Amino acid sequence: MTFKNKKILITGAGGGIGKVLVRKFKDQGAIIAATDLDISGIDADFNFDGDLLDKDFCDSLPGRAQEKLGGLDVLINNAGIIKRGKITESTDEDLELSVKVNIEAPFRLCRSSIPIFAEAGGGAIVNVSSCWGVHPGPSHPIYIMTKAAIASLTQCLGRDHAPENIRVNAVCPNEVNTPMIKSGFTIRGFNPEKGIEELNKTVPIGRIAEPDDIAEVILFLASDSARYICGSLVEVNGGKPVS
């Protein structure tokens, strides 16, 4: 894989997977535009300070990235949030926030990026869904619903825009060792490190994923090595089914 002089837009670039994506793409020669709520620690070529809850920011971001980078070849919709608990424990705020970040923002970013890719003769989009969006598990209905929506959107766009040489795929992780999963343990009163140790025991390969494990699949899907993969949902789960 090589991304020499490829122009790439990454959302959620300040998170566990996002920071690894920025580093790995840069190592491969890419020119990167990135965004997150806190852009201070992101080592991209251009950082866009904005909120994915702002529809105007989402609609304009691919065009602004194209202008700053001198083109746009790849969009990585990596940003996401998780709300836990049964539906009877959820709030309107939980629902609205999850839908806006996990569904509406990627939808708008794809919609704005696709004409740019089409005019340039092609491009690639990699969305971050979840194994839970493909095989629903217990007690996360809002998260599962939103990740299922992204999985379906990926399959639809992959089919619709393949004739324009635009490949749209999604990576579907299970548990990943990031601040997001650790925060869930903390909220529930558990020691995060002990929680990770227990989760590791449930995975056939012996451990939950590290951000690098997911990032490298995203790079593959964004690369010319995956030139015939389109509209696919790639599960990265260490052999562990959703339970």
Residues annotated as part of the active site: 143
Tokens 């795929």, located at residue: 169
User: E strands along 37-139, which residues?
Assistant: 46-49, 74-77, 123-128
Q: Say how many C-beta atoms besides its own lie within 10 A of residue 131's C-beta.
A: 22
179 contacts 147 by C-beta, under 8 angstroms: no
- Name residues whose C-beta falls within 8 Å of residue 198's C-beta, 6 or more positions apart in sequence: none
- Quick one: how far is CA 152 from the chain centroid? 14
SS3 220: helix
Instruction: Give the pair of three-digit tokens for residue 17.
Output: 């997977």
